[in-house]
Amino acid sequence: MTKYMRIAASDEERVANKIGDLFSDFLLDLESIGYNLSRVLPKVIFDRVMITFDAADFYRQGGDLDEFNKQNWGDTE
């Protein structure tokens, strides 16, 4: 019998899973969700949502953290 230890998910991983669960409803109108996000959320929260989805798109396309930091913050070395 093999024993293993499960590593607890980070807060960020839990939030990502919750977002995935919410968007898994294919009956939702995504454009209406976008409209409501832009109208209902405070600007700071809306900006955080946009940064999160921009980062997700970047990593999905094969980007890495060092390249992401260079694009957004310039070369810090």
What does the pLDDT read at residue 68? 65
Q: What is the pLDDT along the chain (77 residues), one digit of tens a residue?
A: 667 777 888 999 999 999 999 999 999 999 999 999 999 999 999 999 999 999 999 889 888 777 666 777 765 55
Beta-carbon contacts of residue 59 (< 8 Å; ≥ 6 apart): 68
- Per-domain residue ranges of the chain: 28-65
pLDDT of residue 75: 59
Residues 6+ apart with CB under 8 A from 9: 17
